[in-house]
């Protein structure tokens, strides 16, 4: 029994397309009520990307944990759960996101490694310092995530059935 899974490139491109409106909302004032929908779809696209990128099993588990937490928080905010409740839960999930992103990046070519180590490290670290710094300090990770996903899409060729090419060759 064969199961279709989109290519790593397709998953990364869909994730970028879903996350871009969320990132744009940081810059341009807009009514934010609808942004949870593309945010949830972003995380579901990443859900299909996790098994395709080289990482230790425990790091992939961390990636899935992040996605479960963040999709749940997205649905919570759609249902008007206050930010004071939802945001700390989301930040807890970001620790697992950072673990996954950093571990995928450690096995990747230099541009992905550099971008991912910064994005994943910053994302996880922010969760620990969030009570002491402004929420805007998290914003650069959004741009870094878009860049990281773009590099993954670019380095994984066409949307055809190609093997994921992230691992550094010696």
Number of domains observed in the structure of the chain? 1
pLDDT, residue 164, reads 52
Q: Specify if 39 maps to a domain.
A: yes
Q: How far apart are CA 148 and CA 130, in angstroms?
A: 23
**Within-domain flag for 102:** yes
H helices of 28-138, where?
Answer: 36-49, 57-78, 83-106, 110-129
Do the Cβ atoms of 151 and 111 come closer than 8 Å? yes
pTM for this predicted structure: 0.89
> Is residue 124, in this structure, part of any structural domain at all?
yes
φ/ψ (deg, to 5) at 5: -130, 125
- Residue 161: which pLDDT band, with cuts at 50, 70 and 90? very low
Q: Is residue 169 part of a domain?
A: no
pLDDT one-digit tens code per residue, 7-64: 999 999 999 999 999 898 888 776 777 889 999 999 999 999 999 999 999 999 999 9
Residues with Cβ < 8 Å from 143, sequence gap 6 or more? Answer: 23
In a domain, 57, yes or no: yes
pLDDT at 122: 98
Question: Tokens in use for 28?
Answer: 């341009």
Instruction: Report the length, in residues, of the chain.
Output: 170
21 domain residue, yes or no: yes
Give me the pLDDT at residue 139, please: 92
Structure tokens, 53: 């990128």
Whether 100 maps to a domain, the answer reads yes
State the residue range of the domain holding 132: 8-154
**Is 120 within a domain?**
yes
- C-alpha 93/C-alpha 76 separation (Å) is 14
pLDDT of 115 above 60? yes
Give the span between the Cα atoms of 119 and 125, in whole angstroms.
10
**Phi/psi at 50 (nearest 5 deg)?**
-50, -50
């Amino acid at each position: 029994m064969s199961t279709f899974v989109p290519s790593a490139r397709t998953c990364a491109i869909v994730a970028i397309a879903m996350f871009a409106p969320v990132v744009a909302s940081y810059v341009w004032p807009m009514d934010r009520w609808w942004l949870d929908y593309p945010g949830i779809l972003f995380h579901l696209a990443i859900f299909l990307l996790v098994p395709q990128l080289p990482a230790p099993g425990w790091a992939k588990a961390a990636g899935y944990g992040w996605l479960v937490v963040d999709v749940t928080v997205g649905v919570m905010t759609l249902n008007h759960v206050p930010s004071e409740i939802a945001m700390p839960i989301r930040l807890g999930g970001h620790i697992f996101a950072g673990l996954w992103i950093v571990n995928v990046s450690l096995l990747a070519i230099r541009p992905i490694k550099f971008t991912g180590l910064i994005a994943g490290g910053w994302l996880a670290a922010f969760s620990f310092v969030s009570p002491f710094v402004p929420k805007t300090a998290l914003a650069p990770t959004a741009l870094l995530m878009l860049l990281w996903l773009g590099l993954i899409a670019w380095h994984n060729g066409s949307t055809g059935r190609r093997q994921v090419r992230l691992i550094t060759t010696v």
